[in-house]
Amino acid sequence: MADDRVMLITGASSGIGAATARAAAQEGYRLVLAARSEERLRDLAGELGGGERAVGQRCDVSVWEDQEALTRTALDRFGRIDVVFANAGFGGSRGFLAESPEQWRSMVETNVLGAAYTIRATLPHLRERGSGHFLLTSSVAGRRVLPGSLYSVTKWAVTAMGEALRQELAETDIKVTLIEPGMVDTPFFDERPSDALADEDIARTVMFAISQPARVDVNEILVRPVHQPG
């Protein structure tokens, strides 16, 4: 039990993060779950075993001190981190006259700086161990530009971040995978889409990436629903 692998997930209180936590728990992972919603995190950690199996901690990923504290909690509680899933993020309306400058700032700080902070906070431990796996949630929108979408811009940044990290770590045994979902039926959307992927579909994608042999690094997984044309 003390040797079970440990996965740290940001944006874990709902959607893809929560689904991935459930899938990882079924595979025997211990979990460090981070989000802004403390109540949801407590409920999820309890559902997944609590105590020695799962811990939830409030974390605003755009705040460096929160990310440092999250990493300390993971190491104090479990002594190791094997998988880091930088999944926290949110979107907004398209159009450069839509949304407010304050919403833009929050989205950029969460989607881009938040992912970078997660890497920076956990990388020293993974380098010290000489192994591990980073996963970053990008998007189809990080592969093709969406008209008037600052969200798409942030996901292009995450895509570049993942490749930059992979190149930096290419001489190590640390893996890097970009997860690039198409439309997913999660609380991300105000109006739930039809013909979309389920968050469990993306969780299975994450588990596929981290289940590969040591010699295999799946760098990018682009997954769309069958009826999504672009």
Our answer to whether residue 29 is catalytic in this structure is no
Beta-bridged to residue 177, according to DSSP, are 135
Q: Which tokens belong to 98? A: 């839509």
DSSP run (H or E) holding 29: none
Out of 29, 151, 156, 188, the active site residue is 151
pLDDT of the chain along its 230 residues, tens only? 668 999 999 999 999 999 999 999 999 999 999 999 889 999 999 999 988 899 999 999 999 999 999 999 999 999 999 999 999 999 999 999 999 999 999 999 999 999 999 999 999 999 999 999 999 999 999 999 999 999 999 999 999 999 999 999 999 999 999 999 998 876 555 566 677 899 999 999 999 999 999 999 999 999 999 877 76
* Residue 177 contacts residue 219 (beta carbons within 8 Å): yes
Region of residue 50 (left: phi > 0; alpha: psi -120 to 50; beta: else):
left
- The residue type found at 74 is A
Residue extents of the structural domains in the chain? 6-223
Q: How many angstroms separate the first and last alpha carbons of the chain?
A: 44
* Residue 62 contacts residue 189 (beta carbons within 8 Å): no
Q: Does domain 6-223 have CATH number 3.40.50.720?
A: yes
- What pLDDT does residue 50 have? 86
Q: Interhelix angle for 15-26 vs 199-210, to 10°?
A: 50
Taking the C-alpha atoms of residue 180 and residue 40, their distance in angstroms, rounded to an integer, is: 25
User: pTM of the predicted model, to two decimals?
Assistant: 0.94
Taking the C-alpha atoms of residue 221 and residue 230, their distance in angstroms, rounded to an integer, is: 16
- What pLDDT does residue 110 have? 98
